[in-house]
Chain A
Amino acid sequence: MEQATRSEGGATVVELGGDVDVGAAQSLRETLADALERGPVVVDLSGVRFIDSAGIGLLVTGHRRAAEQGVGFAVAAPSEGAQRVLSLTRTDRLLSVFDSLDEALRAVAG
């Protein structure tokens, strides 16, 4: 898994790539926890080849933590593979998923 973090539009954008799976979980968990301490978070899945249930689990945990803290948390621009997993596992119902990064940023800023 590749990951990069940057600030954009008042939120922390966590950009992920490659396979987001069990092996990547520890690193991603720390990244999301750090990002949530700073405020709203957008996870950009456009470069993700495959995301498994461990990756999805971390997104749901991030979403729940953000809700507890009262900050925005969104998933942006999932690749075809990521979108299919979100849909197949029906976790798109548990997360705020937006087609584009801009929409996600607007949503968490609002």
Chain B
Amino acid sequence: MRLGAETEQDVWRAVLAVGAQAEPAARLDRALALAAGLAEVSRCHLYLAGGDGRRLHLERTHGAGEVQLDPEGGAAAALPLPPLEIRADEDQRPRVVPTPEGSYFSLPLERGDELVGVLRAGPLPAGRLSRNGERRLLGAAFPLAHVIAGAQEAEELRRRGEEAETRLAVGRRLQGSALETGRFVALLLRLAIRASHADGGFVAIADQSGGLTLRAVEGLPGELVAGLDLSPQTGLLELVPGGGAFLRDADAAARLGIGQLLAVPLFDGERAVALLALVDTSGGGLEPGSLVLLETLAEQIRLMLDNEALFDRFVSRYLDTVKAIAEALDARRPETHGHHRRTAEVTGAIAAELGLPAEERAALETAALVHDVGLAGVAATADAYLADLEHPTVGAGMLEALPLAPGVVEAVEGHHEWFDGWGFPQGLRGERLHPLARVLALAEFVLEAGGGGPLGDPWPAERLATEIRERRGTQFDPEVADAALRLLDGGWRPHQTETRRD
């Protein structure tokens, strides 16, 4: 930019143009180069706030690799390094500071009450900045703070996106082993049945109250399985959490056609976590000589179930991470704050109006809470248009390997599709578009109408209803549109403050 004659607006414009750089690191480099130019100095150092808030560390420098001519001897000499760390309380106001490199102008960069970092410009041959340089640098402090904070946040999102990708890769491997786990449990159960001369058996998982849920069944007649009462207080079996397992109701067992039943509790430490039951129905009896082998098989089944529990915990934590990334995306701008949560509220209202079953409502809520997470994966893409087009696919990719409820991944991938096939990214039409995606697509539109995005100012409810009516059957599934219209007609006001992002 031209130096000297520019207005404060020009300075702001120049700084904000730096903020449009795609790569966070490039934004910082450009910001420092620009600051050096504005201040009419050769070097600029950027210090960013660390974890404790009391110290700032040197993040980047501009011009530090250069050499200067020694005015006395004429020989080239490398400049000394700037301090690697400075104290936040010493740089709360713009001032000139002595450094090993000579005098520097130190400028705190603040966004609201938050100290984003400190910019040091120098060296200052006359012990101070030029009048114009100081005026321009002080004028640039506010936009610089925003650009640098934005670059930091984008970098953080990129890093978390990468982290999620890594976890996903681990998840894919774990999922494979979880499927194997199911097969192994069934195999071990079959081995135990054969070894004990039983006619069949089952493995059940115990909850904290001693209630049991069937996990695998082999060789038992359907009516016996259907009649198995495994409830904690009155069921066929009693599982004492710290003790053992036994048959509570022998008469009920006899009525089910059971001649002998051996229930082996599987313990994790002192807690019964599951139960292996071997059943004789033919009258042949179980083989007492097999009991040693049963002990080994039971232990192996327990290890398999442990593996499975580990995978479940992994899935749950991974999903939490994805939700947290989505929330972090929302928090980047005031107008998108809480977008995912509010989307979940809107989809919840429409799903209830549609009378969707509880499982589908839960799946829709999960999809709503993460639907734009793909934006984190494309945050560093230079072309914002491409980023917008790709984020449903990227988001779906972050979830596809997980054993989530049916429809979650499809809803994330399809939340910008249109019912008539004119949406993106795939142009899926009508029934090919997952029903949950159709609800999510309408919810996204409803929130867009809250203002602040491409649809302009917030729409009153009447206009929103008119627009939904007009797009019924084209952009929106008619049934979903009708549900939203019924809600609006009944006084539903889904977006008092919400705005859109993507």
> Does A6 lie at the interface of the complex (its beta carbon under 8 Å from any beta carbon of B)?
no
Report the Cα distance A52→B290, complex, angstroms: 13
Interface residues contributed by chain A, number (CB under 8 Å): 26
CB proximity of B246 to chain A, nearest CB, Å: 4
Report the Cα distance A58→B242, complex, angstroms: 19
Q: Among B243, B244, B258, B264, which residue has its beta carbon within 8 angstroms of that of A22?
A: B258
User: Could you tell me if B250 and A89 are in contact, using CB atoms closer than 8 angstroms?
Assistant: no
Hey, which chain A residues are within 8 Å of B461, CB to CB? none
CB proximity of B468 to chain A, nearest CB, Å: 61
User: Could you tell me if A53 and B237 are in contact, using CB atoms closer than 8 angstroms?
Assistant: yes
Hey, which chain A residues are within 8 Å of B242, CB to CB? 93
**Which of B48-56, B141-149, B223-231, B291-299 touches A?**
B291-299
Hey, which chain B residues are within 8 Å of A90, CB to CB? 243-245, 265, 267
Q: Mark A23-41, 1 if CB is under 8 A from B, else 0.
A: 1011001000000000000
Hey, which chain B residues are within 8 Å of A94, CB to CB? 240, 243-244
**Which residues 222-275 in B have Cβ within 8 Å of A in the complex?**
237-238, 240, 242-251, 253-254, 258-265, 267
> Does A5 lie at the interface of the complex (its beta carbon under 8 Å from any beta carbon of B)?
no
Hey, which chain A residues are within 8 Å of B295, CB to CB? 88
> Does B139 lie at the interface of the complex (its beta carbon under 8 Å from any beta carbon of A)?
no
User: Could you tell me if A53 and B291 are in contact, using CB atoms closer than 8 angstroms?
Assistant: no
Contacts known (A25-B251, A84-B292); A53 close to B285, Cβ less than 8 A:
no
User: Could you tell me if A57 and B246 are in contact, using CB atoms closer than 8 angstroms?
Assistant: yes
Q: Among A54, A84, A91, which residue has its beta carbon within 8 angstroms of that of B250?
A: A54
Report the Cα distance A54→B240, complex, angstroms: 15
Hey, which chain A residues are within 8 Å of B250, CB to CB? 22, 25-26, 29, 54, 57-58
Which of A22, A25, A94 has most B Cβ within 10 Å? Answer: A22
Q: Mark A47-72, 1 if CB is under 8 A from B, else 0.
A: 00110111011101000000000000
Report the Cα distance A22→B238, complex, angstroms: 15
Report the Cα distance A56→B255, complex, angstroms: 19
Report the Cα distance A53→B264, complex, angstroms: 9
Hey, which chain A residues are within 8 Å of B285, CB to CB? 19, 21, 50
User: Could you tell me if A21 and B260 are in contact, using CB atoms closer than 8 angstroms?
Assistant: yes
Q: Is the interface of B mostly helix, strand, loop or mixed?
A: mixed
Contacts known (A53-B245, A57-B247, A90-B243); A22 close to B288, Cβ less than 8 A:
no
Hey, which chain A residues are within 8 Å of B254, CB to CB? 22-23, 25
Hey, which chain B residues are within 8 Å of A26, CB to CB? 250-251
User: Could you tell me if B244 and A89 are in contact, using CB atoms closer than 8 angstroms?
Assistant: yes
Contacts known (A25-B254, A53-B246); A85 close to B291, Cβ less than 8 A:
yes
Contacts known (A23-B254, A88-B294, A90-B267); A52 close to B247, Cβ less than 8 A:
yes
Interface residues contributed by chain B, number (CB under 8 Å): 33
User: Could you tell me if B265 and A22 are in contact, using CB atoms closer than 8 angstroms?
Assistant: no
Hey, which chain B residues are within 8 Å of A19, CB to CB? 260, 285
> Does B286 lie at the interface of the complex (its beta carbon under 8 Å from any beta carbon of A)?
yes
CB proximity of A11 to chain B, nearest CB, Å: 23
Hey, which chain B residues are within 8 Å of A89, CB to CB? 244-246, 262-265
Which of A19, A50, A84, A88 has most B Cβ within 10 Å? Answer: A88
CB proximity of B131 to chain A, nearest CB, Å: 86
> Does A81 lie at the interface of the complex (its beta carbon under 8 Å from any beta carbon of B)?
yes
CB proximity of B281 to chain A, nearest CB, Å: 10
User: Could you tell me if B253 and A84 are in contact, using CB atoms closer than 8 angstroms?
Assistant: no
Report the Cα distance A85→B196, complex, angstroms: 13
User: Could you tell me if B237 and A91 are in contact, using CB atoms closer than 8 angstroms?
Assistant: no
Hey, which chain B residues are within 8 Å of A81, CB to CB? 288, 291
Hey, which chain A residues are within 8 Å of B267, CB to CB? 90
Contacts known (A94-B243, A94-B244); A88 close to B259, Cβ less than 8 A:
no
Report the Cα distance A77→B69, complex, angstroms: 100
Hey, which chain B residues are within 8 Å of A53, CB to CB? 237, 245-247, 261-263, 277
Q: Mark B322-337, 1 if CB is under 8 A from A, else 0.
A: 0000000000000000
Report the Cα distance A84→B237, complex, angstroms: 19
Q: Mark B77-103, 1 if CB is under 8 A from A, else 0.
A: 000000000000000000000000000
**Which residues 196-231 in B have Cβ within 8 Å of A in the complex?**
none
Residues of A within 8 A of B (CB): 19, 21-23, 25-26, 29, 49-50, 52-54, 56-58, 60, 81, 84-85, 88-94
Residues of B within 8 A of A (CB): 237-238, 240, 242-251, 253-254, 258-265, 267, 277, 285-286, 288, 291-292, 294-295, 298
24 contacts between A and B (CB under 8 A): A22-B247, A22-B254, A22-B258, A25-B251, A50-B260, A50-B286, A52-B260, A52-B261, A53-B246, A54-B250, A54-B260, A56-B247, A58-B250, A84-B288, A84-B291, A85-B288, A88-B264, A89-B246, A89-B262, A89-B264, A90-B243, A90-B244, A90-B245, A90-B265
